[in-house]
Amino acid sequence: MSSKKIFPVLLFLFLLANKASAHCPLCTVGIAAAAGGAAWLGVSQIIIGLFTGALAVSMGYWISRMIKKTYIPFQKTIIILLSFITTIVPLLNVMEGFYPAYISIVGSYGSLLNRTYLINAFLTGSLIGAIIVSISPYLSNFITRLRKNKTLPFQTTALTLSLLIMTSIIIEAIT
């Protein structure tokens, strides 16, 4: 993706973020910038998936907070899942990078328990990114409790982006 295509998307997200009262749009813009930067730099599909999955879940959280009234049970969870699915599934046809994973449990190669599986790199990265964004608020609350209810400015945002960047560095180093 060229930088000419990324800039309007980031500008739109930034303008949208200024109109919200929560810090979550800031997370969304940060994750979108990181994913766009990764694509522009030619980083592997698992890393792009990591940031895209994080963006999708972050947008789902943001949208679910905009709806003040609960209309159906598990409304927030459904919105987050729909955001993830509608962002990631359409991209699976474009992001077709696969990695082999040899699973050896018992016996010789080719037996039922010993096979090589192809893992979709983009989908795997997306799921990891979704998990990181989902657990970051809980980690931030834990850190706040450890610091006796003192928070840093944009603590959850900084924690989320730090975890995503550290995870992407580790994944890039081992793949």
- For residue range 98-153, list pLDDT tens digits in order: 888 877 777 676 667 777 888 899 899 999 999 999 999 899 889 899 888 888 88
Strands (E), 75-113: 98-104
Q: Rg of the chain over CA atoms, in angstroms? A: 18
- Between 86 and 105, the more confident residue is 86
The average pLDDT across 152-174 equals 89
Nearest to 26 by CA among 164, 172, 154: 154
Report pLDDT for 35. 66
Contact at 8 Å (CB) between 17 and 28? yes
Q: What proportion of the chain, given as a percentage, has pLDDT over 90?
A: 25
How crowded is residue 79: how many other Cβ atoms within 10 Å of its Cβ? Answer: 20
Q: Which two tokens stand for residue 136?
A: 């970051």
Contact status, residue 95 vs residue 121, Cβ threshold 8 Å = yes
- Distances from the Cα of 68 to the Cα of 22, 64, 103, angstroms: 13, 8, 46
